[in-house]
Structure 1
Amino acid sequence: MSPEPEVLTVSTTVHEADRAVVSLAGELDADTVAVLQHQLATLVLQGRKHLVLDLALVPFMDSAGLNSVLRARAETLRYGGSLALAAPGPAVRRLLDLTGVSLTSPLYASSTEALAAVPARAE
């Protein structure tokens, strides 16, 4: 019998009409990535084009998880938005550094710091 896949919990806090913090808890891998992709697609469709991914409670991310982050970045950029990554732990930070993602997507110590760096809305 194969072990049960880890559960990924995704919660969202909306900050203004066009921005949200998406907090993840659990492993972000091939078994759990669909949960994140669905949530991010829904947020973008709702007009939230500036997203912060809070990775503080993600102990592990594989290539499928990394791909979902890259897709989310591309999608937010397509709509004139941004994707910031907050509080990655050591293992996730290493993956982001090794793959060069940390060079193209800003990394912040906390979701509060990342949200503060989101560009101001043009009125």
Structure 2
Amino acid sequence: MLLTVEGDLDIDTATELQHHLANQLHHGRRHFLLDVSSVPFMDSSGMNIILRVYQEARQTSGGVYVIRPTSAVRRILDLTGVSITVPTVESVEEALELVDARRSDAPPADSGPEEEPPAP
């Protein structure tokens, strides 16, 4: 799901984004491409939403991809280490490549946990 976020992503707006993303997760969406190229400012509330959705999406073999962050948003993501955890890319195409790579690495839906070989 490609979502374009515009305007400040702060304590006043993060709740709306959180509700929207939670609703999408509830309806089976697993991959979130967040285009934040029109976000001039993000505080810890926005960052926490991105991390929370990332963690929830990972539980369903999904992911979150931050696309084209402005310099101010990139700085927050880098300073907090979020950009180490959540992929940050420069284009929708690059994000889609990561989604495809993730899908090909995921185990089949019907496979159970792998068993370790018996100890000698």
TM-score (norm 2): 0.81
* Structure 1 outlier segments of 4+, above 3 Å: 120-123
Compute the RMSD of aligned alpha carbons.
1.4
Kindly provide the amino acid, as one letter, of the partner of residue 67 in structure 1: N
Task: Return the structure number with greater helix share.
Answer: 2
Match of 2:72 among 91, 99, 103: 91
Q: SS at the partner of 1:102?
A: helix
Q: SS at the partner of 2:45?
A: helix
Match of 1:78 among 59, 71, 76: 59
TM-score (norm 1): 0.79
Q: Equivalences for 1:50-61 in 2 at 5 Å?
A: 50-61=31-42
Contact 1:28 1:58 in 2 (8 A): yes
Question: Corresponding residue for 1:112?
Answer: 93
Displacement of 1:110 after TM fit? 1.6
The percentage of counterpart residues that share the same residue type is 44
Q: Distance in 2 between matches of 1:87 and 1:64?
A: 19
5+ residue gaps, structure 1 = 1-19
Kindly provide the amino acid, as one letter, of the partner of residue 8 in structure 2: E
Q: Distance in 1 between matches of 2:12 and 2:95?
A: 27
Kindly provide the amino acid, as one letter, of the partner of residue 56 in structure 1: S
Q: Distance in 1 between matches of 2:80 and 2:25?
A: 25
State the Cα deviation string for residues 12-70 of structure 1 (Å, max 9, x = none). Answer: xxxxxxxx111100100000111100110111111111111111110100011111111
Task: Return the structure number with greater strand share.
Answer: 1
Q: How many residues align?
A: 104
Q: Distance in 1 between matches of 2:82 and 2:32?
A: 16
Q: SS at the partner of 2:57?
A: helix
Kindly provide the amino acid, as one letter, of the partner of residue 120 in structure 1: R
Kindly provide the amino acid, as one letter, of the partner of residue 103 in structure 2: A
Q: Equivalences for 1:1-123 in 2 at 5 Å?
A: 20-118=1-99, 119-120=102-103
Contact 1:53 1:111 in 2 (8 A): no
5+ residue gaps, structure 2 = 110-120
